[in-house]
Amino acid sequence: MITLTLNDVHVPAQSPKWQRKVGEFLNKERPPKIILAGDIMDIHSLSTHGKAKSRSRNYEWEFHKELEGGTKFFAWLREMAPKADIQYIIGNHEERLEKYINTRAPLMSIAEFGRWDRILGLEDHNIRVPRKDVFVGCGQGQRCLIRHGHEGRPGLSKFAGGTALKIAENQGVNTFCGHTHKLGVMVSISGGKQVYGAEGGYGGKLNHPYMGYVKGKKLPWVLAFSYFDSEKRANPFPEFVKV
């Protein structure tokens, strides 16, 4: 079975080129499962990056436009994959919304409509939020844990796959994550068995105003997405699709 993994799209600052490539993959492969591995939304209007200089004075309007962008993206994804089981793992950018509600409008957090996934309208597109760890088949009869990569603050590695490998070694299982925007795999031995850590790049548009905080920096980020094939025999690693 094919499982498509998308992470760090940063809607509405996604790359059109990346989205077209994902669309081509969906048309061709029609994966029955899609995992959104966090930071699909940017939630820039609630960000603290360059807050004094770059945040819009009318951030209520900006937030509204972000939600509109999310609605369009989720509707597009569901149209492209009408029968797929789509699951959405929270990332640190979605946690901006959760944190804002808890600190600015705590009464909303008590009600069902105050949940971050409800505000993003995920139910309208039949996208569900898993309440426990997500594992997917990854080949050679093995499984891989899917995380965003910020959980528990494992610390960022300078090597592609290194942050995911830290989680893999800690959990004792193969691990895929986003968060770093890097693309790669690293392998280690944990508890007497081989485990790997894989990182899936990102889908954002680097020259978008929301990415202004990295302007002029040389970054090891890679525009890409990934997929797993549970029936693959050669190895248990994800397949990377560079854009």
Q: What is the pLDDT of residue 168?
A: 97
Q: Say if 163 falls within a structural domain.
A: no
Q: Say if 49 falls within a structural domain.
A: yes
Report whether 36 contacts 88 (CB < 8 A).
Answer: yes
Q: What is the pLDDT of residue 62?
A: 87
Q: What is the pLDDT of residue 12?
A: 96
Q: Say if 145 falls within a structural domain.
A: no
Angle at 25 between CA 38 and CA 22, to 5 degrees: 40
Kindly give the confidence (pLDDT) of every residue in the chain, 243 residues in length, as a single tens digit, with 9 standing for 90 and above. Answer: 999 999 999 999 999 999 999 999 999 999 999 999 999 999 998 887 655 344 555 777 788 899 999 999 999 999 999 999 999 999 999 999 988 888 877 777 666 666 889 999 999 999 999 999 999 999 999 999 999 999 988 889 999 999 999 999 999 999 999 999 999 999 999 889 999 999 999 999 999 988 888 888 889 999 999 999 999 999 999 999 999
Q: Which residue's structure tokens are 């640190």?
A: 92
Strands lying side by side in the sheet with 33-36? 127-128, 85-88, 33-36, 2-6, 224-229, 239-242
Q: Say if 164 falls within a structural domain.
A: no
Q: Say if 144 falls within a structural domain.
A: no
Return d(Cα 139, Cα 30) in angstroms, integer: 18
Domain count, the chain: 1
Q: Say if 108 falls within a structural domain.
A: yes
Q: What is the pLDDT of residue 111?
A: 62
Domain that holds residue 71: 2-132+201-242
* Pairing state between β 127-128 and 134-139: unpaired
Q: Say if 167 falls within a structural domain.
A: no
- CA dihedral (139, 140, 142, 148) in degrees, to 10, reads -30
Return d(Cα 39, Cα 73) in angstroms, integer: 13
Q: Give the 3-state secondary structure of residue 110.
A: helix
Phi-psi region for residue 127, left (φ > 0), alpha (ψ -120 to 50) or beta? beta
Q: Say if 235 falls within a structural domain.
A: yes
